[in-house]
Structure 1
Amino acid sequence: MARPLRKIKLDGTLYSRRPAVEAEIQELAALGDCELELKALDCSRASPDFVSPEALMHFVRNVEPGILRDTLTECLLKRIYLLLPRADDGSLTNSNIRDDVVDHFIDLLLSDRVTYDNRLDYYEINFNSAVASDRKDARDRHWKHENRYDELEGEDDASLPIAAIGGHDPFDPTDLDQKSYRLQLDDAIDGLPEIQRRIIEMIRHDIPIDSKDPSVITISKALGKSEKTIRTYRDKAFATLRSRLERKGEQ
């Protein structure tokens, strides 16, 4: 029998998976690792080998650490991306929504691997609905964020210190003196989305976001994006780093 869920409803009863998902989990549990991996790689609902995202979520949470869990996790993330706005439409908002939803999900997975996190139970009950809710929350946040930028348009934060902009300076010299912190910071940076990671690495090497001197190499020039876009990604990266470093510090 699959491990019971632990989230409790308002009436005091436990959440439970749909009977079809329970039966699917039992069937998949009888397969070898290679066969389960092959089935998980198939994202086509029309395929007879299609594994429901709810069942896949169960195995990601419960298989032992190793290659199989890593592969299943990658398959699950692909399922999430299929439910999110396209990445190639040139929209910064859609890109931010994708990053937010995926970052949130990864944070839940990491939390669940430390100690059972019942916030993931809903993904085993109705995966698509859980992702849709995360997507709506991210969209609402960025709608408010963009309106705030519109109100502040024309203001320049280039002269502000890092701590005043992002609320947290991951490169505080006092923290960097500690080897354990540096290792945790490197791990946290490696887990950022690619564009955020590149921006943080350039900031780490004292490359300015922009400069009035056309001969100066800047992050804006290197990535071909506006100052405002770079700062938006930077602030988002700082917030993520702060969250992940605080979580590591509590372990």
Structure 2
Amino acid sequence: MARPLRKCTTDGSAYTRPPEIEAAIDEALALDATTRLARAEILDRKAPGFLPKEALVYLIRDAKRVDDQTTLSKLFTILARRCEEVLAHQVPDTYPNAVDIRADALSELGNLVAEDETGTDGYRLDFFESRFESAFLRLWTTIARKCLRRREREVVAADPDNPVRKPVEGALEVDGEQEPTVLRKEQMVLFNRLAPDDRKLLFLRFGNEVKVESNDPAEVTLAKIYRVEGRTIRNRINAALARLATLETKP
């Protein structure tokens, strides 16, 4: 039986795994080590015995706890390969600082495993065990945000007298309109005056190019993150942009 999670969410309640994840972990734990590793190698989601990423995280933590470095290394390599596929899709080469973001995301995931159950915040992987895609999205978007800020500072340093930022190559299309992936210097200042929810939504959409919705059931989208329809997300984006525009018009 899978051990309970310990880390709490922002509202004070403990993270919980979905029933299907609990079942997948329990099934994996009942297998011998060789069969379990073979199951971990399965990539087809629809294939019998496929292990979701949450279950892989559990098994990785389990191997670390008993100091089984061989199993730990093999399982983490499998998980990293799956994450590389996610990053290749969500952070393509046309994305600013794509190579650094992808490499740093995998490195940070490795650090989380290495530091698991140590220090003052030793249960951060609980989030990955309960909702891996959301947790990994948060991980790489945090890294991307740091890259975006560093890029903004570099642009300002290169041309401090020109506050207008040109859209980077591959400016994303939003409902048929071209939107820059880098805000002007003035907008960046005003951006920080928006409410936290507005900042998060606009950053995910324009800073990290997370789609509003997608026909690909495996792709992480804003509609999935916020658990609402795409139309609702678009309305929220337009409202947040309107609030940003209002700030621009104020003296």
Task: Map residues 1-251 of structure 1 onto 2, 5 A cutoff.
Answer: 1-63=1-63, 64=66, 65-85=68-88, 89=93, 93-112=97-116, 114=118, 117-153=122-158
1:31, 1:98 → 2: CA distance?
Answer: 33
Q: Which runs of 4+ in 1 moved over 4 A?
A: 113-116
Q: Does the CA-based 8 Å contact 1:108-1:119 persist in structure 2?
A: yes
Q: Does the CA-based 8 Å contact 1:83-1:132 persist in structure 2?
A: no
Gaps of 5+ in 2: 161-251
Q: SS where residue 51 of structure 1 aligns?
A: coil
1:98, 1:106 → 2: CA distance?
Answer: 13
2:14, 2:74 → 1: CA distance?
Answer: 30
- 1:28-83 CA-to-partner distances (Å, cap 9, x unmatched) read 11111111111111122122231010011100001232322211111111121121
Aligned length: 155
Gaps of 5+ in 1: 156-251
Call closer, same or farther: CA 1:17–1:105 in 2, change over 3 Å.
same
Call closer, same or farther: CA 1:141–1:85 in 2, change over 3 Å.
farther
Q: TM (normalized to structure 1)?
A: 0.56
- 1:218-244 CA-to-partner distances (Å, cap 9, x unmatched) read xxxxxxxxxxxxxxxxxxxxxxxxxxx
Q: TM (normalized to structure 2)?
A: 0.56
Q: SS where residue 83 of structure 1 aligns?
A: helix
1:81, 1:38 → 2: CA distance?
Answer: 20
Q: RMSD between aligned alpha carbons?
A: 2.4
- 1:172-199 CA-to-partner distances (Å, cap 9, x unmatched) read xxxxxxxxxxxxxxxxxxxxxxxxxxxx
Q: SS where residue 47 of structure 1 aligns?
A: coil
- 1:108-162 CA-to-partner distances (Å, cap 9, x unmatched) read 111116568211100000101111111211221111111111122289xxxxxxx
Greater helix proportion: 1
Instruction: Tell me whether 79-88 or 43-52 shows the greater mean CA deviation.
Output: 79-88
